[in-house]
Structure formats: structure tokens, C-alpha cells
Amino acid sequence: MSDLLKAEIDGSGVGVITWDMAGHSMNVLSEDVLRAFEAEWRKLQEDDRVKGVVVTSAREEFIVGADINLLWRMRNWSAEDVFAQNQVLTRFFREIETAAKPTVAAVNGDALGGGFELALACRYRIMTDKDGVKLGLPEVMLGLLPGAGGTQRLARLLGPREALQYLTTGKNMRAEKALGFGVVHQIAAHDDLLAAAKAAILEGKVPAKAPWDEKGYAFPGDPAHSREWTQVFAGGGSMLRRETQGNYPAPQRIMACVYHGLQLSMDKALSFEGRQFTTLFMGPTSRNLIRTGWFGRNAANKLEKRPQGVPDTTFTKVGVIGAGVMGAGIASCTAAGGCDVVLLDVNEEAAQRGKQHVVDYFARQAAKGRMTKEKADEIAARVKPSTDYADLAGAQITIEAVFEDRGIKATVTAATEAATDAAHVFGTNTSTLPITGLAEAAERPEEFIGIHFFSPVEKMPLVEIIRGEKTSDHAAAVAMDYVKLIRKTPIVVNDSRGFYTSRVFGTYTREGFMMLTEGVSPAVIENVGKASGMPMGPLELIDMVGIDTGHKITHETIKEVGREAMAARGEPFEALGVLDWIVEEAERPGQKAGKGFYDYDADNKKTQIWPAVYERFPKKNDDVDVDELKRRFLHIQALETLRCMEEGVVTAPDDADVGSIFGWGFAPCHGGVISYVETIGVPAFLAQCEDLAEKYGKRFEPPQLLRDMAARGERFYPDEEPLQAAE
């Protein structure tokens, strides 16, 4: 017995192992529980009274996958040790599958990752009829593959075509589908699940062998090397390549597991799968995805960096001023977080327009089946349109999203402060204006903070919180509590022009403009941008964000910072020439106007790169070095991030990484800007930047911080061994 699971034998001779992991929020495959499970399962197998074993859980879920903390501890192991550990689990699951006494999975809730793999290793699987319960193998999203037989058993049950759809995307399967595929043998009423599982054993429903251990077994679909087989693997392979741009090795290796595994005996296939798992595990992509996508993001969501000693905030009312694009979106998210919102604008009509956006947004969610109509109405009803600052009384926090104008923002700040109490926090959603300057308009600058949302607000996961010089810990804590309330991911940075995210993001598009001026073909620029792992090419991206916005911000920065100062930092003004041309001369502000670097059709979908871009920037060189172009795109973002760290704008590498992926979509395969540098290695990255600086100018010059780190042999994530194996 342990406090992780319990085993018992009922009067009819069925052994039941019930997972219920004390001290864990969910049942996961940790080292301890596996040890306890194996011991109990063996005891039951050896007990003469026992006819068979049922595995189930006392929790809401069945088992939701590997304990990622355990995986993370293994990251500094050798490949041999990782493979050996993998095979211990794989062999145990195989033992369950081939044991004389049957094991039945009574899947009472979500079975994901290793939990689903355990169920698949049971010779009979019964699933609850409870709504919404999922089966799935999401390992691919962490750059891994299901390495405890998942690729093999699913492929043998579904055939390669169907199985790959699940394995390469991580998408979930519901009960009816699972029954259709034979992934589960039976669906039972939730309350009868255990009884049905026992009955399956007592009534002899469980087959003596897994289908693939029977003589003459053939997987569903056409056999290996048939026409269908070739289509699946040749066609699917090239499709994957197009989608991943070769940046994500896991789907390719999953495909290899299915391709080779289906042609091997189960035992050999499991060993092959283990080797593929190990290779992925030892490579940089899974490590980067786990570090930032899992640990970094979870730590941010749990507010691990929240200032200590400030009591948690209970939100009863949130003010939003400016009911435009951003304000209405902020109101939506706040209402969805369960809080009342006062949405204030200059007149009734504007405030009402913002409220209508909220109503329409949630109606669309309901129409898409994401929530009930009642729920949608309930959320929208929390938003009260207003023109009266007195309505803000009693709010814990107010966020202004009025025009990007210092004067207007100052008036709004003063009016809000007059209507609210001393503990109220004022957040500004300015995208460009430094917080310390805006806070000068405040009576209580210590309660003034930047809360920078991204557009479209409802969709974008990150919120960048910016502390001004006088911002207090109280304001930072309340802002973080607020971001948690609306279920977004916060990072906290210090003040700077463009803060962290906008400042770094701008370097990507700027590098694209520089390539245009050098005569690199626009199509090549776009394709290489995507191939580098960025979600879009730089020209498409600036079209979407608004070229006019980029143009305005750059000119304002020149006005406020000065040309000389910018030149001293290596600003390439040729890029500005591209912006001036497209905005001022060509009058093409971007996608919203239906014209930018791309042409757009009546539905505002891009059709082609505007032909005049090719004329204006004729191709000068056919012989481009694609790797170097990719490097320029990513290195320039990493360099600006390092400058932000040097200046104290960003204070920790994980903030930089989380902010880059969830803020502007920096190539997730690299785990964020700093993980990217770390993967290359500080000395090698430094040398590459020096090389680029020599060829392309001062903007690639490495900051002193990097030189110092290289000289001292330091790393950004020092508790991790540098990577050794290639993928």
C-alpha cells in the first residue's frame, strides 16, 4: 500500500489497483507511483485468489501522462541511461500486455500520454460515458513521442493513416471514436464502470492475447508497401516537412516509428520506438519546448515571481477606459475571468460599441459550441458601458486603452485617480510611451504601471507588465493577480522605449527590410522567415500588425531619441527608407486597408506580394546563403533581447523566453530567444555575431554582457548540461 495508489482483492477474485496520488494535483506517472504500481500489480499476478486485475483511478482523471518533473530531472542523463529507463517502463507495460492473468483498464477520466499508453497495454479497455473525457498522446507538443508503446499500439489499432493523424498532432480522441477504432472495447455508464471492468474479467471477455500477438495479425488499412502505404508515408512526409519546415524533429521520428514499427515484431518495434524517443529527448528541441513551453510558462502562470508580502487581490470591479479595439477585448477577457467591468468611453455611443463587441464575441463563442448561450449572456452582462468616472469607485484596477496620446492619457489618469481610492492600481496599455513619463501625470505614481496587451486581445496569451521607476511592489502584484484572473501569462519587465516585446519584435521586420534593400528577393525573404521558425515572413507580419504603426513608431523614436544616438547603436536607417516608401509614397498601410507589402482580395486574404515591391527592390543576387539569412533573422532578435537584459529591462532568461514565444511568436522550436542562444552556446553565438557585424554592420555587434559571459564560461541556464547529441 502507498499513499499514491491502493490495491485490493474483492470477494470474486478481482484485484483492483486504484490510482489516487496524494500530494499531486493529478495522477501522473512519477517514479514513485510506477514503483508502487509495479509491486502491487505483481503481487496480484502472483496471488492464487486473483483472476485478473482492474486498473482505475479515484480521481476526476485516469492518468494524465508522465511527470514532467521526472523527465526534466533526466535531462542531464546520458543517452544510454535515458534509453535504459525508457525500456524499463516499456518492458513492464509489455509484461502487463502478455501476462497470463488479464489486466483491464477502467478509464474513468482523461487518459493522456503515458496514462493512455498504460491503458493501451491492458488487454481490455472500458471507458466511462462521462461527457468530455479525452484520450490522447500529446507528447509531440513537447517535442517528444509516446515512448511507452504508444506509437506502436495506436498504429496497430488504427492503421498508419489514422494513427499518424493523432500521433503527429497530439489531438484527442473521445469515447465514441475510440470505440469505433477498437481503442476501447466498451463504454460503460460512469457509475457502473468498475463493475463492468470486473465483469469483463469474470465473464472471460478479455482476449488471451493482444491482437498483434495472434498469428496472422494484420494492421488495419492496406499492407506495408501497398499503394496506400506509400501515399501515407511519402505524401505525409512531405506534408510534414512543409508544415514544420524541418524545425520539429518529433513528427518525423513518429512517422519513422510507425513505418518501421509496423514491419517489426512488437518487441523489436518497442525497442526501436525507445531509441527514437531517446534521440528526441537528448536533442535541443524537446528540451527547449519543455523548458519554456512547460516550466517557464507554468512558473509565469503561477506567478512565481510575484512580489512577496502583498496580500492576494480579490477583484470585484475592474475599470477599462477606451472602448476601442483593445479596450473592448480587455473587457471581454476580464468578464470571462468572472469580474464586473466598467467600460468607459467619451460618449454613450462609443462605450456601447465596445459593449457590443463583447456581446458579439461571446455570441460567436456560443455559436461555435465553446460555451452555452446562457454562459455567453452571463459573461457579457458583467460589462457595464459608461461615460461616468464615478462608476469606477470601488474598482481594484483600471486599465486605460485610449488613443496613444500623452495629453489624453494624462487627463484620463487624473480623472481615474480622483474617482478611486489609494490602493487602486492604474494600468496603461500604451504600446510605445515609456511608463515613467506617463506616470508623471499621476498623483500616485507608485500605483501606476504598464499592462501591455497584444492584439487580438482575446486570443493572445501574453501580457507584458511594465514597472515604471516609481511603480510599487503592490501595483506589480495587483497587476499580476489581474493577469492571472483573466487566465493569461504575465511577464514583468522594466521600463524602456518599446518595453521588451515590441522592441525586439521590431528587429525581425527591420531585418526583412534590410534584406529588401540588399536585393534579396521578397519571396525568398518571406520563405526564409518562415523556415527560421517564425510564424510568418516579416513582410506579411508587418502587414498584419500595421505598417503605418511601425512607420509612426520609428519616426517618433527618432524624434525622441535622436538620430545620432540611434546611429551609435547601429540603427540601419536604410530600413526606414523602405517604411517611408511603402507608407508615404505608395500609401499602403497594411492588411487592414487591403494593401501593404501584399495584395489582398475582397475577403482580406493575401493573394500575392505586391509586384511593385519587386520593381522597387530588384533582385541583385541569386546566390543567397539561406542559413545566413535565417541566422540574421533570429540573431538580431536575440541580440536586442540581450541588450534588454544588459539594461535591466528584462531581468531573467525565462521571462525573455516566455515573452518571446507567447508575445510575438518567436520560433517556438528554439524555446525562445535566450534558449536559442543557449542552444548554440554563448561562445559560438558571440563568434557568429562578430562575423555578422563585420558583414552587415554594427547592429550585430554583441553586447558586453555576452562577451563577459563568454569570457567567464557562463551560461543562461547553468543547471543544465550543454547538449551533446544531434537530432
Instruction: Catalogue the active-site residues.
Output: 452
Rule CB under 6 A: which residues touch ligand NAD? 321-327, 344-346, 350, 401-404, 408, 411-412, 429-431, 453, 455
* Nearest distance, CB of residue 205 and ligand NAD, angstroms: 59
What's the distance, CA 364 to chain centroid? 24
| Gap between the Cα atoms of 1 and 8, Å rounded | 9
* Nearest distance, CB of residue 388 and ligand NAD, angstroms: 11
Bond before 456 cis per omega within 30 degrees: yes
What's the distance, CA 331 to chain centroid? 23
Looking up cell 454613450 gives 348
Sign, CA torsion 562/563/565/571: positive
Q: Of all residues in this chain, which one has the CB nearest to ligand NAD in the complex?
A: 324
DSSP designation for 304: T
DSSP designation for 633: H
Q: Cβ distance 536 to 512 under 8 Å?
A: no
Q: Cβ distance 431 to 401 under 8 Å?
A: no
What's the start-to-end Cα distance of the chain, in Å?
41
Looking up cell 543567397 gives 624
Task: Identify which of residues 365 and 413 has a Cβ nearer to ligand NAD in the complex.
Answer: 413
3-state DSSP assignment of residue 53: strand
Task: Identify which of residues 346 and 593 has a Cβ nearer to ligand NAD in the complex.
Answer: 346
Q: How far is CA 408 from CA 161, 355, 388, 447, 549, in A?
A: 59, 22, 16, 19, 19
3-state DSSP assignment of residue 8: strand
Burial 397-434 (b: 16+ CB within 10 A, else e): bbbbbbebeeeebeebbeebbebbeeebbbbbbbbbbb
The pairing of strands 172-173 and 489-494 is unpaired
* Nearest distance, CB of residue 583 and ligand NAD, angstroms: 17
Q: Return the C-alpha cell found at 172.
A: 484527442
Task: Identify which of residues 444 and 452 has a Cβ nearer to ligand NAD in the complex.
Answer: 452
* Nearest distance, CB of residue 345 and ligand NAD, angstroms: 4
DSSP letters spanning 258-322: HHHHTTS-HHHHHHHHHHHHHHHHHSHHHHHIIIIIIIIHHHHHTTTTSPTTSPPPPPSEEEEE-
| Gap between the Cα atoms of 336 and 330, Å rounded | 10
Contacts of 172 (CB under 8 A, 6+ apart): 112, 134, 135, 136, 138
What's the distance, CA 646 to chain centroid? 26
Task: Identify which of residues 375 and 552 has a Cβ nearer to ligand NAD in the complex.
Answer: 552
Task: Identify which of residues 279 and 554 has a Cβ nearer to ligand NAD in the complex.
Answer: 554
Long-range contacts of 361-370 (CB under 8 A, 24+ apart): 361/332, 361/458, 362/332, 362/336
The pairing of strands 448-452 and 425-428 is parallel
Q: Is 309 exposed, middle or buried (0-12, 13-18, 19+ CB in 10 A)?
A: exposed
Task: Identify which of residues 402 and 689 has a Cβ nearer to ligand NAD in the complex.
Answer: 402
Q: How far is CA 306 from CA 283, 477, 483, in A?
A: 32, 6, 12
* Nearest distance, CB of residue 437 and ligand NAD, angstroms: 14
* Nearest distance, CB of residue 409 and ligand NAD, angstroms: 7
Task: Identify which of residues 244 and 432 has a Cβ nearer to ligand NAD in the complex.
Answer: 432
| Gap between the Cα atoms of 19 and 41, Å rounded | 12
| Gap between the Cα atoms of 286 and 529, Å rounded | 22
* Nearest distance, CB of residue 592 and ligand NAD, angstroms: 10
* Nearest distance, CB of residue 239 and ligand NAD, angstroms: 33
Q: Cβ distance 186 to 196 under 8 Å?
A: yes
* Nearest distance, CB of residue 411 and ligand NAD, angstroms: 6
Task: Identify which of residues 307 and 594 has a Cβ nearer to ligand NAD in the complex.
Answer: 594
* Nearest distance, CB of residue 553 and ligand NAD, angstroms: 9
Q: Cβ distance 50 to 11 under 8 Å?
A: no
Residue 104, strand partner residues? 54, 124
* Nearest distance, CB of residue 395 and ligand NAD, angstroms: 15
Task: Identify which of residues 403 and 573 has a Cβ nearer to ligand NAD in the complex.
Answer: 403
Q: Return the C-alpha cell found at 81.
A: 541511461
| Gap between the Cα atoms of 445 and 435, Å rounded | 10
Task: Identify which of residues 260 and 552 has a Cβ nearer to ligand NAD in the complex.
Answer: 552
Task: Identify which of residues 38 and 404 has a Cβ nearer to ligand NAD in the complex.
Answer: 404
Q: What amino acid is encoded at 384 in this protein? A: K
| Gap between the Cα atoms of 348 and 342, Å rounded | 13
* Nearest distance, CB of residue 335 and ligand NAD, angstroms: 17
Neighbours of 190 (CB within 10 A): 15
Task: Identify which of residues 200 and 326 has a Cβ nearer to ligand NAD in the complex.
Answer: 326
